[in-house]
Amino acid sequence: MKYTEFLSSAKRHNHACRVLKEKLDSLGDGCAEDVEYKFLVLSLYYLSGYIIECSIKYKIFQLENYDLHSDVNEEECEKAGINYKKKIKTHNFNRLQNYLDSLVSGINHVSEKNEINKLINEWTPEIRYSTVELSYEQVKELYSHTNNFLKMI
């Protein structure tokens, strides 16, 4: 995988989220207790998290002037002075953000809204296997936030 694929992935996740949001909006609040509706909300949450992760990783490699033709793996990252296992191979947004902050200021995935930050802080890839109850309104706000974050990248 080349580092530019992180940005492509973020954009694909963003597109999928837009489609999920449109579908959820078309179903309306009357379906909020339906299993399919809950699954779609969870999917929107799950993919929104990947927009953040992929965007940050792309920006890190861009700022590190990583070779466009090199694969992103432990060996190639080591050649570029990047500790792949400690700095890149993580789903922890705070660790990724700290690395990004060490390269540039002013690009931050954190929201001004506490309820959005709570969703961000609780996000993990394993959430897709969960049956957690999520508020569509909050997840929709999270998606809007991640969409705006992607535009900053």
Q: Which residues contact 37 (CB under 8 A, 6 or more apart)?
A: 24, 27, 31, 136
Asked whether the whole model's pTM tops 0.85, one would answer yes
**Is the model's pLDDT at 29 over the cut of 90?**
no
Closest Cα partner for 52 from 5, 2, 4, 108? Answer: 108
pLDDT, residue 131, reads 86
Query: Which whole number is the average pLDDT over 131-144?
Result: 96
80-106 as b/e, with b when 16 or more CB fall inside 10 Å? Answer: eebebeebbeeeebeebbebbeeeeee
By percentage, how much of the chain surpasses pLDDT 70?
Answer: 100
Query: Which whole number is the average pLDDT over 78-101?
Result: 98
Q: Compute the distance between CA of residue 21 and CA of residue 16 in angstroms, rounded to an integer.
A: 9
**Is the model's pLDDT at 50 over the cut of 90?**
yes
By percentage, how much of the chain surpasses pLDDT 90?
Answer: 95
> Residue 71's beta-bridge partner residues?
2
